[in-house]
Structure 1
């Protein structure tokens, strides 16, 4: 295990959120889309379910996308700002199927504050452990989705948004066949 389970869940949510805008598509076009995303990611707590909330999540997603490829100092600045802006106060919590884990906002805090705090807390672990090189962009030439490499041998190179890995492997196979190898 590289990170605590709740950290890995939060990091995967970050990846999934950033990738809702990958490759020119908008997967969070409506409040209903956001509802579905949050349900799939297991987010609970208060919601306004309005366009302002959706817009705040879009803005947060843009900040995460920039942070994903930022250098360490910029990432630290962004993470600290996210925690400050949300008035984060880390506390141990137990709820639903989760055993003790960290929350830094209340269930009543605005959605974007809860999302940004969970993301920031997870990214704190990534930065502290000097593992930012696990935050990648898909190697496929026609894809700009982000990738979180949690493999032991640091071998993950393609996103989970489509079939980028399969297309790359097929292309490599065909190139080997064409060259007689």
Structure 2
């Protein structure tokens, strides 16, 4: 599902940024993990300088507020706060041999500002179209990662299939244990 018609995966970038910053303490995190996300989601063809890491980390913490929202009003307030802090200036661009496509930041914006405006706009589209039904925090016990559901059935509640599988196994074992107690 394409939420904003942009050539990068802005919604995926928002999720990956938040998860990179809020990863569990026992998960190893590469020193350039946030800059790698820029490349992986189509914001850059090559790595950004290390100097962008603090800005990306701060923005990821801001994005988290949308995923943590308990209701649509709280999510809208969080999105509006993001949008108030970015410069959104939509325009068509055909840079680097790409076909014409929409950019949300002004042409002179650096990569961090482009990421900020695009991810804020992606979350605004997500919340305006689906409320809080398609994003949130992972339902797995002890996981603090986030997800955005782009599936057709909108049934996702876990950040990954690994968390979904662990939760299913734990639920199965709990049911089996309860059944054994009753026998």
Inter-partner Cα distance in structure 1 for 2:42 and 2:172: 39
Map of 1:55-70 to 2, 5 A cutoff? Answer: 55-70=54-69
Inter-partner Cα distance in structure 1 for 2:97 and 2:128: 27
Inter-partner Cα distance in structure 2 for 1:140 and 1:116: 28
Distance 1:126 1:171, change over 3 A: same
Inter-partner Cα distance in structure 2 for 1:75 and 1:112: 23
Map of 1:125-164 to 2, 5 A cutoff? Answer: 125-160=125-160, 163-164=162-163
TM-score w.r.t. structure 1 length? 0.77
Map of 1:4-83 to 2, 5 A cutoff? Answer: 4=4, 6=6, 9-25=9-25, 30=31, 32-44=32-44, 49-51=49-51, 53-70=52-69, 71-83=71-83
Q: In structure 1, list runs of 5 or more residues that go unmatched.
A: none
> Residue 41 of structure 1: CA displacement?
1.9
Q: How many residues align?
A: 178
CA RMSD of aligned residues (A): 3.3
> Residue 20 of structure 1: CA displacement?
0.4
> Residue 23 of structure 1: CA displacement?
4.1
Distance 1:176 1:86, change over 3 A: closer
Inter-partner Cα distance in structure 2 for 1:12 and 1:76: 19
Please tell me whether residue 113 in structure 1 is matched to residue 113 in structure 2: yes
> Residue 72 of structure 1: CA displacement?
3.8
> Residue 85 of structure 1: CA displacement?
3.5
Please tell me whether residue 169 in structure 1 is matched to residue 168 in structure 2: yes
Q: In structure 2, list runs of 5 or more residues that go unmatched.
A: none
Q: Secondary structure at the match of 2:158?
A: coil
Contact 1:20 1:28 in 2 (8 A): yes
The residue that corresponds to 1:104 in the other structure is 104
Distance 1:56 1:140, change over 3 A: same
